[in-house]
């Protein structure tokens, strides 16, 4: 029997309302993916441009055919390997998926989320859930219910609290062009793990005003309002800005000069999975300290370090 909170969320979703739900990556703003009314509300809440499509969340790979068609064999292999989990597949859409969900594209992004609350919601519903990250467009993604409440109190009635998200950064996105898998967004499923199935993945390179394949690729994204710089050499960059109110975002403990006002250490042991999990909460905290500058340390370019660096680069883009 679902809890009262989940029952209330189910009723709201059936009524075309929007609900914040936890996933294993970040919190999402969920609505009935088949309802233009609900999807329109998601765009309005997020202040998100309509060209930027939403990910459709389904309860299991078994339901994939209901939202996508002409699915490449390798996509099925990826779904079998990584779902439920942080991998989004961009596939040819079924006709009944509203254009509003897909930003007018003939493709749809789809995944099975790996969080018990998200799965429980989906189990109780007879439609899939469109859900972008639960943050206003362009700002830092939420990894706790409190982050969501800070953004949307007053405009969003139901926020399901599922604790801190396990993975901490968004799903990895893979699309298919002429049957060939292409990496559209780095995320919580490691590229090297996907490549065990696909072979070496091509990556969509992009610059800001070029036509955007996955708008999570917009170079400015995931951004704190505080100016952020990304560096290989924290020690010398800190010295350059010693007259400023500085916050530091670092992987593991180091000795820092006393004029540094705020320090966020992502993992005591330098573990990159743990660092990913802590990344956005650390960025939220630093962003609330009235700093002149956040100096972020580049992660080692392996495993989850690649996805963390990608998010930090976007946070640091002017
Ligand atoms: O981990 C996640 O993926 C989270 C949780 C809530 O599931 N969701 C998320 O959604 O990050 P959002 O809207 O913040 O980012 C979705 C990304 C966007 O960059 C969007 O452009 C891309 O997915 N996307 C969705 N559908 C697409 C499509 N048909 N073609 C290309 N990119 C697509
Ligand atoms: Mg987002």
What homologous superfamily is domain 3-211 in, according to CATH? DHBP synthase (3.90.870.10)
Closest CA to 138 of 229, 208, 33: 208
Distance CA 130, CA 109 (A): 10
Q: Is the pLDDT assigned to residue 74 strictly greater than 90? A: yes
Per-residue pLDDT tens over the stretch 204-246:
855 433 345 555 555 566 678 999 999 999 999 999 999 999 9
Put simply, whether the predicted model's pTM sits higher than 0.85 gets the answer: yes
Query: Residue 190: which of 248, 273, 134, 93 has the closest Cα?
Result: 273
Statement: residue 115 has pLDDT above 60: yes
Here the contacts of 71-78 (C-beta below 8 Å, separation 24 or greater) are 72/176, 72/179, 72/181, 74/176, 74/179, 74/181, 74/197, 74/198, 75/174, 75/176, 75/181, 77/197, 78/174, 78/181, 78/194, 78/197, 78/198
CATH assignment of 228-316, among 3.20.20.210, 1.10.3720.10, 3.40.50.720, 3.40.50.11030: 3.40.50.11030
Q: How far is the CA of 239 from the centre of ligand 2 (A)?
A: 34
**pLDDT tens-digit series, residues 288-302:** 999 999 999 999 999
28 closest CA partner among 148, 110, 121: 148
Ion ligand 2: residues, Cβ under 5 Å:
133
The pLDDT, as a whole number, for residue 208 is: 37
- Decide: 55 and 88 in contact? Cβ < 8 Å: yes
Cβ proximity of 50 and 148 under 8 Å: no
Nearest to 274 by CA among 165, 180, 172: 165
Predicted confidence (pLDDT) per residue in 300-313, tens digit: 999 999 999 999 99
Element spanning 64, H or E:
helix 64-67
Residue from 88, 114, 204 whose mutation best tests the ligand 1 pocket (most atoms within 8 A of CB): 88
Q: Report the Cα 90 to chain-centroid distance in Å.
A: 15
CA distance 75 to 176: 8
Distance in Å from the first CA to the final CA of the chain = 49
CA of 207 to the centre of ligand 1 (A): 18
Domain range summary for the chain, segments of one domain joined by + = 3-211, 228-316
What average pLDDT does the segment 120-133 reach?
A: 98
């Amino acid at each position: 029997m679902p809890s009262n909170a989940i029952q209330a969320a189910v009723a709201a979703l059936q009524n075309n309302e929007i609900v914040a739900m936890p996933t294993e990556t970040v919190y999402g703003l969920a609505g009935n993916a088949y309802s233009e009314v609900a999807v329109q509300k998601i765009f309005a809440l997020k202040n998100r441009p309509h060209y930027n499509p939403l990910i459709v969340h389904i309860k299991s790979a078994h339901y994939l055919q209901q939202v996508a068609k002409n699915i490449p064999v390798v996509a099925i292999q990826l779904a079998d390997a990584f779902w439920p989990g942080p991998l989004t597949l961009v596939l040819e859409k079924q006709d009944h998926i509203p254009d509003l969900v897909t930003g007018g594209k003939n493709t749809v992004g789809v995944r099975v989320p790996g969080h018990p609350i998200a799965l429980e919601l989906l189990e109780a519903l007879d439609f899939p859930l469109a859900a972008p990250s639960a943050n206003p467009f362009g700002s830092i993604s939420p990894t706790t219910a409190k982050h969501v409440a800070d953004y949307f109190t007053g405009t969003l009635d139901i926020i399901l609290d599922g604790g801190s998200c396990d993975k901490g950064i968004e799903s990895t996105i893979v699309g298919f062009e002429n049957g060939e898998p292409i990496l559209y967004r780095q995320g919580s499923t490691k590229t090297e793990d996907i490549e065990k199935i696909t072979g070496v993945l091509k990556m969509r390179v992009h610059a800001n005003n070029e036509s955007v394949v996955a708008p999570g690729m917009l170079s400015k994204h995931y951004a704190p309002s505080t100016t952020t710089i990304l560096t290989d050499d924290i020690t010398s960059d800190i010295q350059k800005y010693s007259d400023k109110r500085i916050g530091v975002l670092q992987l593991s403990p180091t000795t820092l000069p006393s004029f540094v006002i705020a320090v966020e250490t992502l993992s005591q042991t330098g573990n990159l999975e743990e660092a990913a999990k802590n990344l956005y909460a650390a960025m939220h905290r630093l962003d609330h300290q009235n700093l002149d500058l956040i100096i972020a340390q580049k992660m080692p370019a392996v495993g989850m370090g690649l996805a963390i660096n990608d998010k930090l680069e976007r946070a640091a883009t002017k």
